[in-house]
Amino acid sequence: MQMTKWLTGAVAAGLIMSNGTAIARTVGPAGEAATPSAEVTLSDADIAALKDKGYKAALLWHTSSDFTNAVGQGATDEFKRAGIDIAVTTDAQFDAARQRSDIETALAAKPNVILALPLDPVTSAEAFRQAVTDGAKLVFLSNVPKGYKHGTDYAAIVTDDLFQMGKQAADALAKSIDGKGTVGYIFHDATYYVTNQRDQAFKSTIEKDYPDIKIVAEQGISDPARAEELANAMLLKNPDLDGIYVTWAEPADGVLAALRGAGNTKTKIVTLDLAEPVALDMVKGGNVTALVADKAYELGRAMAAAGMKSLLGQETPAFVVAPALTVTKDNVSQGWKDSLNRDAPQSVLDAAK
Partner 1 sequence: MSSTNQGAAVRAAGLAGRVNLQQYVVYFGFLAIFLFFAIMLKDSGFLTVRNLSNIVLQTAPATIMAIGLVFVMSAGEIDLSIGSTVAVAALAAAVTMQSYGMVPGIAAGLGCGLLIGLVNGVLVAYVRLPSFLVTLATLGLFAGVSRSLTDLRSIPVTNETFTGFFGSGALFGIPSLIWWTAIAVAIGHILYRETRFGAHVLAVGDNARAASVSGISVPKMRLAVLMISGALAGLAGLLYAGRLQAAKYTLGETDLMTVIAAVIVGGTLLNGGKGSIIGALVGSLMMGMLNNGLILMGLSVSDQMIVRGLIILAAVAVSLREKSR
- Name the residues that contact partner 1, by CB under 8 A: 61, 64, 85-98, 100-102, 104-106, 108-110, 119-123, 125-127, 146, 190-192
Which residues make beta-bridge pairs with 27? 16
Angle made by CA atoms 228, 93, 105, in degrees to the nearest 5: 170
Q: Nearer Cβ to partner 1, position 119 or 278?
A: 119
In the sheet with 243-246, reading across from the earlier edge strand, the strands are 213-221, 181-188, 243-246, 268-272, 288-294, 324-327
Q: Nearer Cβ to partner 1, position 161 or 199?
A: 199
Q: How far is the CB of 110 from partner 1 (least distance, A)?
A: 6
Q: Nearer Cβ to partner 1, position 56 or 309?
A: 56
Q: How far is the CB of 62 from partner 1 (least distance, A)?
A: 9
Q: Are 265 and 287 in contact (CB under 8 A)?
A: yes
Cβ neighbours of 283 (radius 10 Å):
21
Q: How far is the CB of 241 from partner 1 (least distance, A)?
A: 29
Q: How far is the CB of 307 from partner 1 (least distance, A)?
A: 18
Q: Nearer Cβ to partner 1, position 95 or 207?
A: 95
Q: Are 182 and 213 in contact (CB under 8 A)?
A: yes
Q: Nearer Cβ to partner 1, position 89 or 238?
A: 89
Q: How far is the CB of 99 from partner 1 (least distance, A)?
A: 8
Q: How far is the CB of 22 from partner 1 (least distance, A)?
A: 34
Q: How far is the CB of 18 from partner 1 (least distance, A)?
A: 25
Q: Nearer Cβ to partner 1, position 219 or 264?
A: 219
Q: How far is the CB of 26 from partner 1 (least distance, A)?
A: 22
Q: How far is the CB of 199 from partner 1 (least distance, A)?
A: 15
156-160 and 137-141 as β-strands: parallel, antiparallel, unpaired? parallel
Q: Nearer Cβ to partner 1, position 26 or 68?
A: 68
Q: Nearer Cβ to partner 1, position 126 or 218?
A: 126
Q: Nearer Cβ to partner 1, position 100 or 295?
A: 100
Angle made by CA atoms 52, 53, 59, in degrees to the nearest 5: 105
